[in-house]
Amino acid sequence: MAIALALRVVSGLAAAALAALLLEYYGLAGPPSPLPQRRHMRRPHPAPGSGDRNIFWGLQISDIHLSRFRDPGRAADLEKFCSETVDVIQPALVLATGDLTDAKTKEQLGSRQQEVEWQTYHGILKKTKVMEKTAWLDIRGNHETDEGALVTGQRKQSEQPYDLVRTLHNVHYPFSITRNPVNNEGTLELELGDWKDNRRYRIFAFDHDLFSFADLVFGRWPVVLITNPKPLLYSCGKHEPLERLLHSTHIRVLAFSLSSIASVTVRIDGAHLGQAVHLSGPIFVLKWNPRNYVNGTHNIEVVVQDSAGRSQSAHHVFSVQENIHLTFDPLASFILLTDHCILARVLFVLIVLIQLATLITFRLLVCPQLKEPPGFVSLTSFSLHVLSKINIFYYSVLLLTLYTVLGPWFFGEIIDGKLGCCFSFGIFVNGHFLQGGMTFVVGILQLVFFNIPLMAYLCWSLLQRCFGHNFRSHLRKGKYLKIIPVHLLMLLLYTWQVYSCYFLHMTYGTLALLVSPLRTWLTLLTPVLVRCVWTLKSAELGAFMVQLKSHLSS
């Protein structure tokens, strides 16, 4: 009866926690839905045609990470970008969006503003006189401050003031753009690949209020951007006059290269449509009748060749119908639309509940008599019974799991000159509480790569004790291929735990290293607990040893 009640309590807690987390972010509570409004009629004109007005273009570069210690090519290529690329494309503005400098220590473990990196950045702008050629707008990122911004001006979810996980989550995905996951305005959130490692940049244009863009690799020419018809995948009916596609008279292309443009060839659905003619500057146009393409979707391809023989193509799917939509790549949508902080929180809670449920269940269950030759499952179950029935190991693992959830992980200098405590659910610093997001990722890593393996290692060691072995004798029984890998794996994970202490020290200083129960103290106590497994002499352990030996002898 007690066992059934305990199982119900644990199951109820698990279901309640999961439901609370889901309802908090996806539940019924929320702002009321706005009343349906009549769509404002927008003028179909001026529509894209043969003129060179009502169009401007710009460039975006992101995550430059000029570094004092790493990859001097970032600065050299940025200087070339500011001179050569900007000179050729002649943008109306350039957006440098975040992480202009690396702001890391030499070991790349801690954050520190390096004055020489800012001097390098300012020196490039001054040397190339780029701010005299165009409007250069730079936005600070998380490596310059504790806040960053995308083109949309919204804070990156990855930019939590917790350097320990920043390098894990601040990943630059090769997916360019997706629907904005923050609101339901039908806007687009730009996510540009980085300059730091990939030398990516973006050209964008507004042609008669229709937005288009292309993500490019630095140094590849020609540069091609089809501005009309614009891509269907990135159409924003609420914010763009898409009616102008149907009333347009010309296909419009921006083409740039180090050499003069020799030809601009246009194909639609594989059929050759003709050669676009040069209008002015980088603008090339080709007369078309969009009413020939009113049904369904179509594919446009433009091939540009310059006088030096270099060629580049661009293509996308378009439609002149307003009620047709395309879906994004599933992987890209998952990466950019998923709130990974919530996902990490749910996984963290589930892992903790599973581990607690396992411990408590085996603590309450009566150890059954072994009735057949013990296999892997029966021996695993037996070892869990041994662990949960011996108080010192049961309460040690239980306390470690609960402390990972509730206790402060460390106390130290979270921000320069500001002390604080870090928990799984957030950070207290300078009298303020910052709600946890990526801290749950660190908690998952701690559980998966140390807490749970330590529990499994203790179970395995206790099982060896029940077979009648001590540490020396179990090494002499000859099954090295089964024994040595277990110890080596645990040693490897213990090394990871030691390294995390070093990482903590380099990131947050000596105080954080000394006052870190989950890192430093646990690292020191683990050998004590392991030694206790191999030297413990207790009545409970003796009873399990007798039970297993009697079963094996029978």
Task: Express each pLDDT in 22-74 by its tens digit.
Answer: 444 443 333 443 434 444 445 667 899 999 999 999 999 999 999 888 899 99
Q: What is the mean pLDDT of residues 100-118?
A: 80
Q: How much of the chain, in percent, has pLDDT values that exceed 90? A: 56
- Model confidence over 110-157: pLDDT tens digits? 677 888 899 999 999 999 999 999 999 988 766 555 433 222 222 333
Handedness of CA 240, 242, 247, 249 (dihedral sign): positive
Residue 95 — pLDDT band, cuts 50, 70, 90? very high
Q: Which one is predicted more confidently, 405 or 327?
A: 405
282 preceded by a cis bond (ω within 30 of 0): no
Reply yes or no on whether the pLDDT at 161 is more than 50. no
Of 1-10, 51-60, 279-288, 332-341, the poorest mean pLDDT is in: 1-10
The amino acid at 170: N
Percent helix, strand, coil in the chain, to 5, is: 45, 20, 35
Report field, pTM of the whole predicted structure over 0.95: no
222 preceded by a cis bond (ω within 30 of 0): yes
Identify the CA nearest to 188 among candidates 341, 51, 337: 337
- Model confidence over 189-212: pLDDT tens digits? 778 889 999 999 999 999 999 999
**H or E stretch covering 70:** none
pLDDT of residue 347: 95
Alpha helices in 205-312 (DSSP H): 243-247
pLDDT of residue 477: 66
CA 9, chain centre distance (Å): 35
| Nearest-angstrom CA–CA distance, 352 and 371 | 32
| Nearest-angstrom CA–CA distance, 97 and 191 | 10
CB 106 within 8 A of CB 117: no
Residue 404 — pLDDT band, cuts 50, 70, 90? very high
Identify the CA nearest to 61 among candidates 80, 76, 81, 75: 81
- Model confidence over 244-258: pLDDT tens digits? 999 999 999 999 999
Identify the CA nearest to 139 among candidates 124, 149, 129, 152: 149
pLDDT of residue 376: 86
Token digits of residue 82: 């500011």
Of 80-94, 123-137, 153-167, 408-422, the poorest mean pLDDT is in: 153-167
Neighbours of 499 (CB within 10 A): 11
Using the CB atoms, write b or e for 349-376: b if 16+ within 10 Å: bebbbebbbbbbebbebebeebeeebee
